[in-house]
Amino acid sequence: GAVVSQHPSWVICKSGTSVKIECRSLDFQATTMFWYRQFPKQSLMLMATSNEGSKATYEQGVEKDKFLINHASLTLSTLTVTSAHPEDSSFYICSARGRQGGNEQYFGPGTRLTVT
Amino acid sequence: GEDVEQSLFLSVREGDSSVINCTYTDSSSTYLYWYKQEPGAGLQLLTYIFSNMDMKQDQRLTVLLNKKDKHLSLRIADTQTGDSAIYFCAESNRGYGGATNKLIFGTGTLLAVQP
């Protein structure tokens, strides 16, 4: 149980285009989803926290107009990188926390974004 | 702000024990976690410990917490080549009323297991 998937697993796009990444909780309802970014050989940095049906809360320094987050249902959150640039190339990981509460976050496998 | 530090690299021989260390600064940390990340993959939760515990053992894994020194360690007994990965410690605190706060990750320790 507690499986989180991400799609796509990797994507290459041209500079200036937008890319959407999906995060799904497959066997539980996720009231809260988190989006992280991980640069090579670095730790995970939280970008934003999204609760189902409400606006995401962004961490300091993360542009909300560039990284659009939608959490329209209890099993799906999307992250759209708008007008992507090469410096946005990174590994994006989502995690989800269930309706039952507790403190555990279940992580997706990540999406490798490369902007050329 | 919160800060979580780890040593960058650890190399051990297969069959030996591995000890990965982590220090944190947030004295209000309630939960401390160890995650494993294999190349190109997401994070797998290995174990966690509540801040009112000193030790937790789960099969080959032993977590030790020194709350006074804000020091957390993960010991892997009988380390295998399949244990080679990056290990992240993370901390969070539970806000008033049970609301859960975000995870703050350490810098990660690359564990290399030599056959």
In chain B, residues with a C-beta closer than 8 Å to the C-beta of A26 are: none
Nearest-Cα distance to chain B for A21, in Å, is 15
Instruction: Count CA atoms closer than 13 A to A86's CA, side-chain side.
Output: 1
Contact B77/A at CB under 8 A: no
Q: A48-79 pLDDT, tens per residue?
A: 999 888 889 999 999 999 999 998 888 999 99
Secondary structure class of B98 (helix, strand, coil): helix
- CA–CA separation, A25 and A75 (whole Å): 5
From its phi and psi, is residue B15 left (phi > 0), alpha (psi between -120 and 50) or beta?
Answer: left
CA distance A85 to A103: 34
Three state DSSP letters for A58-91: ECCCCCCCCEEEEEEECCEEEEEECCCCHHHCEE
Q: Give the residue from chain B lying closest to A103, CA to CA.
A: B100
Residue with tokens 């939280």: A46
Q: Per residue of chain A (116 residues), give pLDDT as tens.
A: 688 999 999 999 999 999 999 999 998 888 889 999 998 878 889 999 998 888 899 999 999 999 999 988 889 999 999 999 999 999 999 999 876 555 678 899 999 999 99
Token output for B46 = 């290995």
Please tell me if residue A46 touches chain B, with a CB cutoff of 8 Å.
yes
Beta-strand pair B61-66/B71-76: antiparallel
Distances (CA, A) of A22 to A10, A69, B66, B110: 12, 10, 39, 29
Task: Please give the backbone phi and psi of residue A70, each rounded to the nearest 5 degrees, phi first.
Answer: -125, 130
- CB contact (8 A) between residue A109 and residue B41: yes
User: Does the beta carbon of A66 lie under 8 angstroms from any beta carbon of chain B?
Assistant: no
Distances (CA, A) of B48 to A64, B13, B22: 32, 25, 13
Chain A contact for B40 (CB, 8 A cutoff) = yes
B88 and A103 within 8 Å at the Cβ level: the answer is no
Residue ranges in chain B modelled with pLDDT below 70: 1-2, 94-101
- CA atoms of B89 and A40, how far apart (whole Å): 18
The per-residue b/e assignment along B13-32, b for 16 or more CB within 10 angstroms, e otherwise, is eeeeebebbbbbebeebbbb
Residues B64-75: tens digit of each pLDDT:
999 999 999 999
Q: Report the residue from A4, A97, A107 with minimal CB separation from B100.
A: A97
CA closest to B108 among chain A residues: A43
Which pLDDT value is given to residue A104?
76
Distance separating alpha carbons of residues A106 and A5, to the nearest angstrom: 10
Q: Is B97 helix (H, G, I), strand (E, B) or coil?
A: helix
pLDDT score, position A99: 64
**DSSP code string of chain A:** ---EEEE-SEEEE-TT--EEEEEEESSS-EEEEEEEEE-TTS-EEEEEEEETTSPPEEPTT--TTTEEEEEEETTEEEEEE-S--GGG-EEEEEEEEETT--S--EE---EEEEE-
Query: To probe the interface with B, which of A38, A43, A54 has the most B CB atoms within 10 Å?
Result: A43
Question: What is the reported pLDDT for B98?
Answer: 44
